[in-house]
Copies of this chain bind each other. A is one copy, B any other.
């Protein structure tokens, strides 16, 4: 939401919900969920820890608002008037990149079911699936499949980023580490995972993500005639 309708505008230094949320995003980006503390926030805002509670209900409210601010800004960037298939890819990629910049969003999305950030994504995807021309009863299934796929990728990517940061690894080293662990698994019990380990280091997250979207869109199309 992040609307600032103060009757008098004060200097940049005055406390407001917007300024709190923006600063919270900075802290979350810089050092993850563990980095967002009411004490750290208060220091950055040159105020007392308790003052923040005048503008924000609690930490859940704060993280939820921060998440929604990023999601809203991301979805607003999606190009209007594109063909449905392309628009879905654009929405997905926009979210994918936002997650990359703000990995804490992954966990935040899973903490506020049915609330604003999730609703925005659902609305964006649902509208485009509708534009795909699917019959009404297939609309919900298709939109829901796409939505949950996007959320699943979001969660995994966020987990990867957070883990890599916590262990001070760059992406390549992280993937190499995981590939190494997968390769060491029992050949009889984990044949697929061992095979997947081989293609892990070179794979392109974004390309794989888009391939998944195309696959689901193809599934929606395949269901149409039936």
Contact with B along A192-225 (1 / 0, CB 8 A): 1100100100010000100110011111111100
Q: How far is the CA of A214 from the CA of B167 in the complex (A)?
A: 38
A13 to B147, CA, bound (A): 47
The distance in angstroms between the C-alpha atoms of A188 and B141, with both chains bound, is 23
What residues of chain B lie closer than 8 Å to A111, measured between beta carbons? 159, 162
| Contact residues of A: prevailing secondary structure | helix
Chain copies in complex: 2
A106 proximity list for chain B (CB < 8 A): 110
Contacts of A196 in B (CB 8 A): 122, 126, 140, 143
Please pick, from B126, B130, B154, B215, the residue contacting A141 in the complex, using a CB distance under 8 A. B215
Contact indicator B216/A141 (Cβ below 8 Å): no
Say yes or no: B119 contacts A185, CB within 8 Å: yes
Whether A123 pairs with B155 at a CB distance below 8 angstroms is: no
B215 and A156 within 8 A (CB): no
CB contacts (< 8 Å) of A208 on chain B: these are: 140-141, 144
Is A113 a contact of B216 with CB atoms below 8 Å?
A: no
Does A181 lie at the interface of the complex (its beta carbon under 8 Å from any beta carbon of B)? yes
Shortest CB distance A1–B (Å): 13
| Chain B residues positioned under 8 Å from A140 (CB to CB) | 196, 199, 203, 208
Instruction: Determine whether the beta carbon of A156 is less than 8 Å from that of B110.
Output: yes
CB distance from A92 to the nearest CB of B (A): 12
Chain A to chain B contacts (Cβ below 8 Å), 25 pairs = A107-B107, A110-B110, A110-B155, A110-B159, A112-B159, A113-B159, A113-B178, A123-B189, A126-B196, A127-B191, A127-B192, A140-B196, A141-B208, A144-B208, A144-B212, A145-B149, A147-B152, A148-B149, A149-B216, A150-B152, A215-B216, A216-B216, A216-B219, A219-B222, A221-B222
Give the top 7 A-B pairs by smallest Cβ distance, nearest first: A219-B219, A152-B152, A148-B152, A126-B192, A114-B178, A151-B152, A145-B212
